Amino acid sequence: MNNDASSAGGTGSPRPNSHPPIKSGRVGVLIANLGTPDATDFWSMRRYLKEFLSDKRVIEDNSLTWKLVFNGIILTFRPRAKGRDYASIWNRERNESQLKTITRSQSEKLAASLVGVDDRIDVAWGMRYGNPSVGSAIDELVAKGCDRLLFVPLYPQYAAATSATACDAAFRHLMTMRWQPTLRVAPPYYDDPVYIDAVATSLRDALGTLSFKPDVILASFHGIPQDYFDKGDPYYCQCAKTVRLLRAALGLDEAQFRLTFQSRFGPAEWLQPYTDKTVEALAKSGVKNLAIVTPGFSADCLETLEEIAVENGDIFKRNGGDNFAAIPCLNDSDQGMRVIREVVLRELKGWV
């Protein structure tokens, strides 16, 4: 349905001739992921890191010491180092990050899978940091006539530094609008049977392609400071439940399938056990074959393609390990799209 303005006395809603044209009656689905720099050069990386690390959901420290370190050291030296990391996994054909490529494809495949469900549905994608922004994606959907929006942060497990800040971006943009669309937010899906089955199936398939059988499999999740958990963030509990359900689905015990946390930043204590320290300890203890799966990431990105596949692979082999595999994320695979489509259709009930 497309309810453009109609003149008084005409069909549809009687609007005066001077009424501005307004499109409405459509339903938008907006999927969102963390973000991406526009390029790998110093200034692009600095702009991205400044936006990301200035977010009070990400770094809750507001002390003078942090401000001096952030502006004087991090934004001076970190952009070059992270730029080199991004350059090592950059999609040079499209001149963009892998996360951007995959998220776009997820959006396109989701739209294709919803054809025939309801012809009023439009799909868009956005990033919490970088481009395209969540706000620009909302504008895109509203311009098409979407007055109902389903916002889907692609984080299976909830954390204030991911899910909540993505919602903050959506809510802030709605604050600028005179006619706000009705907004729904999809909840985390860490224990959804479809998600658990998809990760387990994808992992089994990937293991079947390896030339070795892992002695241990690590389920590595992005970490958060221990202090955030102590204040009430449910992230650790949801990661632990995901791992428990995956163990059951895979028929593995706690020694064979272990929970770890990666990507810590700064001197503070983060959720443990740490992935890199666990990888090192396993290699030194005589484990020769190791695989790591990253169920908390809906798409491969710097943290999986460089930190896990490269850095942790090097740690394992440097300390005595022989065979190492980083298992791909669900991405835009059939299993990955099955999860996203299921979440979307479940949350659109009553609207379509």
Please answer whether residues 292 and 327 qualify as being in contact, where contact means their C-beta atoms are separated by less than 8 angstroms.
Answer: yes
User: Tokens in use for 197?
Assistant: 């089955």
- Spatial strand order of the sheet with 26-36 comes to 121-130, 26-36, 146-153, 182-185
Please answer whether residues 109 and 334 qualify as being in contact, where contact means their C-beta atoms are separated by less than 8 angstroms.
Answer: no
Q: DSSP letters along 181-233, please?
A: PEEEEPPP-TT-HHHHHHHHHHHHHHHHTSSS--SEEEEEEE--BHHHHHTT-
- Relative to beta strand 146-153, strand 121-130 is unpaired
Annotated binding residue at 269? no
Please answer whether residues 147 and 25 qualify as being in contact, where contact means their C-beta atoms are separated by less than 8 angstroms.
Answer: yes
130 three-state secondary structure: strand
Report the alpha-carbon distance of residue 82 to residue 74 in Å, rounded: 11
Please return the burial class of 240, using the count of CB atoms within 10 Å of its CB with bins 0-12, 13-18 and 19+.
middle
CB count in 10 Å sphere of residue 328: 20
Please answer whether residues 231 and 268 qualify as being in contact, where contact means their C-beta atoms are separated by less than 8 angstroms.
Answer: no
Annotated binding residue at 222? yes
Q: Which residues contact residue 287 at a Cβ distance below 8 angstroms, ignoring those fewer than 6 apart?
A: 215, 216, 321
Report the alpha-carbon distance of residue 173 to residue 179 in Å, rounded: 12
For residue 274, the 8-state DSSP code is B
Cα dihedral 10, 13, 19, 21 sign: negative
Annotated binding site: 222, 303
Annotated binding site for Fe(2+): 222, 303
